[in-house]
Amino acid sequence: MATRKPATAATMRNKDDLIVIGGAGGFIGGALTRRFHDQGFARIRAVDKKPLPRWYQRVPGVESLCLDLSDPGACERACEGAVEVYNLAADMGGMGFIERFRIECLRSILINTNLIEAAYRAGVDRYFFASSACAYNTLLQQDPDVRALKESDAYPAMAERGYGWEKLMSEMVCQEYTAERGMKTAIARFHNVYGPWGTWDGGREKAPAAICRKVIEAKGSGDHRITIWGDGTQTRSFMYIDDCVLGIDRIMHCERLVATPINLGSDELVSINDLVSLAESIGGVRLKRSYDPGAPRGVAGRNSDNTMIRSILGWEPGTPLRAGLAKTYRWIEGQVRDRRAGRHTVKDEA
């Protein structure tokens, strides 16, 4: 068990060190930008290929650049003068997106390949890569009553087609930049992240946001029915966004985790049916369920084994699903209201 509080940017860096965040117009990149800004970092460069008005969060006082990070020149511009680079940029979404657009997912390899090279040339001290539980061997995830995945379960490799293989390859690129060139890299395998300021409609949203939205819409319309993708027995764990950004910060600054992929996820396993029940109870409504067996459902079961993160950082994501989902539900309710009133909302088309 770690005895001291884990290092973070706030304990290791000067407040005027330049931090670069790729994918900052998206969900996790936006939350990370806000975290560093709130901690008093004065020089943050937020980068995303989306036009600025479509960024989920724009943090005042942060340099915000619209650049396509699959382009080497753009990566060079992004990394100029940086001390730390966080790669949260990827073309991705929930199961509905990653099962349908495997080529787009694979093409995200260009982002990491070019960004890490630019980071290396710029002489950055540390580089972070956002990997995913989709990198794990799918043969270990065929039962809803799943054994939690530990870090060694990625090999022998049989990752999720498209998206998962890109993550696995990019992890390897990071590891080799450390091994061959001596640049410190950090790699976290996120397990389903949810919370306010994530996409909730349009085709890229993930299960927690999609289910909250369906419950809110059914309640609002008086048509008390919900369609669930698959048979609802699929199991997953879900990590609240605040735990995710704290975890990124701690993993990035841990010497023992250099070039070492580690799970960053909750180990509170629930079925999709349980998730619907939870959203119903938060919304104070009961819906008649029907199931769409032809819809994307992903692997049958997936959970995060947190033995390694507990032993190295003395910490693991701990926000209870009910508490995190209640905040997410209320936020999406506000978004639905804003949309009805014709106001700007967080949304990305697939």
DSSP 256-268: GGTT--EEES---
Range in contact with ligand NAD (rule: CB under 6 A) among 1-9, 42-50, 226-234, 317-325: 42-50
| Interatomic CA distance for residues 204 and 54, integer angstroms | 14
Give the nearer residue to ligand NAD in terms of CB position, either 115 or 287.
115
Tell me which stretch binds ligand NAD (CB under 6 A): 142-150, 192-200, 214-222, 300-308: 192-200
List, in sequence order, every residue forming a beta bridge with 291; answer none if it has no partner: 228
Is residue 159 a contact point for ligand NAD (CB under 6 A)? no
Longest dimension (CA), the chain: 61
Comparison of 287 and 316: residue with beta carbon closer to ligand NAD: 316
- Asked about 163 being catalytic, the answer comes back as yes
Q: What is the full DSSP assignment across 194-251?
A: E-TTS--SSB---HHHHHHHHHHHHHHHS--EEEEETTS--EEE-EEHHHHHHHHHHH
Asked if residue 243 binds ligand NAD (CB under 6 A), the reply is no
Return the residue of 13, 34, 35, 49 that touches ligand NAD, per CB under 6 A.
49
Integer Cα distance of 230 and 235 in angstroms: 11
Residue 48 binding ligand NAD, by CB under 6 A? yes
Among 64, 70, 141, 185, binds ligand NAD (CB under 6 A): 70
The 3-state secondary structure of 120-141 reads: HHHCCCEEEEEEEHHHCCHHHC
* Contact positions with ligand NAD (CB under 6 A) in 2-41: 22-23, 25-29
Kindly tell me the burial class for residue 113, based on how many C-beta atoms sit within 10 Å of its own C-beta (0-12, 13-18, 19 or more).
middle
Residue nearest to ligand NAD (CB): 26
Does the protein bind ligand NAD through residue 192 (CB under 6 A)?
yes
Number of residues near ligand NAD (by CB under 6 A): 26
How far is it, in rounded angstroms, from Cα 331 to Cα 327?
6
Residues 79-98 that bind ligand NAD (CB under 6 A): 88-92
**Considering the complex, what minimum distance in angstroms separates the CB of residue 334 from ligand NAD?**
18
Q: At what angle do helices 241-252 and 27-38 cross, to 10 degrees?
A: 70
* Residue 78 interacts with ligand NAD (CB under 6 A): yes or no: no
Catalytic residue among 56, 127, 163, 177: 163
Q: Can you tell me which of 19, 62, 83, 111 binds ligand NAD, judged by CB under 6 A? A: 111
**How many Å apart are CA 173 and CA 179, to the nearest integer?**
10
Q: How many whole angstroms separate alpha carbon 66 and alpha carbon 78?
A: 10
Catalytically active residues are 163
Chain contacts with ligand NAD (rule: CB under 6 A): 22-23, 25-29, 48-50, 68-70, 88-92, 111, 130, 132, 190, 192-193, 199, 206
